[in-house]
A = this chain, B = another copy of it.
């Protein structure tokens, strides 16, 4: 259960409803997921988050599927259950195959492991990496 109620369309401000409708239009679905409904208590934060997310996740030098996988990686390390579920679903919708999912997890696991090895050893950064 959330620390705030999940707001339905009838409960939100006009500013928040406008964001809900932009989400619907961009995604081509009537469904607005819980993250936005919990964020709608603060219409300014909802608007700023949505406006920025749209830009950051749009196609660019990296394609949207790579961006979703990076999002999964970060959310996994941060232990965010909701985010792992929502972005894994999004990545699958954008074409992530089981093989890609498996490799993604393998890289995240390897990185988590060598991160702590390096930290435990306090290995100094090679000059070569700073060039």
Contacts and interface: CB of A to CB of B under 8 A. Distances in A.
Interface in A75-96: 75-89
Of A60, A72, A108, which is in contact with the most chain B CB atoms at under 10 Å from its CB? A108
Contacts of A80: 79, 115, 118-119
- Copies of this chain present in the complex amount to 6
Interface residues of A, number: 82
Interface in A95-131: 97-126, 128-130
Task: Classify the secondary structure of A's interface with B.
Answer: helix
Contact of A117 (B60, B105, B117): B105
A34 B82 contact: no
11 contacts: A1-B124, A3-B122, A35-B121, A38-B118, A39-B117, A48-B106, A66-B69, A71-B107, A71-B110, A74-B116, A89-B129
